[in-house]
Copies of this chain bind each other. A is one copy, B any other.
Amino acid sequence: MRRDVFQAIADPTRREILGLLAQNPQNINAVADRFPTSRVAISKHLKILMECGLVVVQQQGRERICEAQPEKLQEVADWVEQYRQFWNEKLDSLEQYLAKIQNKDADNS
């Protein structure tokens, strides 16, 4: 089952989990304790995050320490970035428009 970063971060719980793990790595139960849902549900979310490389796990005895690996978010950043120019241009022309009508207003006053 091929996992996709965009799909992984679509769920707000998974985004929150990534936030927690970025602050400090911790085992699965510790993560699950922070949410109202069951351990199994969180475990499934973690599995998805692992499958797309946003989280890595390190076995330590019976515990599995999960760590955030947000480099994979680069793919998302790149995709968004291609629209940056697009919306900056629109904002620029809006600014020019606003500047123009402000000047006009000043002329009329």
Interface residues of A, Cβ cutoff 8 Å to B: 4, 6-7, 9-10, 12, 15, 18, 22, 68-71, 73-74, 76-77, 79-81, 83-84, 86-87, 90-91
Contact = CB atoms under 8 A, between A and B. Distances in A.
Contacts of A86: 22, 68, 70
Given A73-B80, A80-B80, 10 more contacts: A15-B79, A18-B83, A68-B83, A68-B86, A70-B86, A71-B90, A71-B91, A73-B83, A74-B87, A77-B80
Number of chain copies forming the complex: 2
Contacts of A18: 83
B77 A77 contact: yes
Contacts of A70: 83, 86-87
A93 to B, nearest CB: 13
Contacts of A9: 6, 10, 79
